[in-house]
Amino acid sequence: MQNSKVSQDELITSILFGIEEVKGNHINILDLREIENTVCDYFIICDGTSNTHVNAIVNSIQKTVSKGLKDKPWHVEGSDNSEWVLMDYVNVVVHVFQTQTREYYDIEGLWGDAKVTAIESSFNK
């Protein structure tokens, strides 16, 4: 369960760090706060090149958030096949896809009204 002392900004920063630590690709933050009837405030979406890479991203996020913020996801699903892993931190939901699965489901397109912030990965510079 989300630690009430952890701010959303701290959580997002920690999640992004976890993704970048293992070179997660194409990181986007979708701000859902202006959209009615959403399940959370933010989606963080990224992709990995294989199920091994997706698992590494998920593990890195969990480790980074747990170590830095003493927080853990309320729920994680999709780890069985690692094509699409959803990590629910209550107000922030992380979607870690394999590249082709992300293209197929097009979450950004489904949430077209959301404000999207693309994160420039430090390893791509």
Burial pattern 105-122, b for ≥16 Cβ within 10 A else e, equals eeebeebeebeeeebebe
pLDDT, tens digit, 9 for 90 and up, residues 26-45? 999 999 999 999 999 999 99
Domains of the chain, first to last: 8-108 (3.30.460.10)
Instruction: State how far the Cα of 33 lies from the Cα of 42, in Å rounded to an integer.
Output: 7
The pTM assigned to this predicted structure is 0.92
pLDDT for residue 11: 97
Order of all β-strands in the sheet with 75-77:
75-77, 84-88, 92-98, 42-48, 25-31, 115-119
Cβ atoms of 122 and 16 within 8 Å: the answer is: no
pLDDT for residue 2: 47
In degrees, rounded to 5, the angle at the alpha carbon of residue 87 between the alpha carbons of residues 83 and 93 is: 115
pLDDT, tens digit, 9 for 90 and up, residues 63-114? 999 999 999 999 999 999 999 999 999 999 999 999 999 999 999 999 999 9
Query: With pLDDT > 70 as the criterion, what percentage of the chain qualifies?
Result: 93
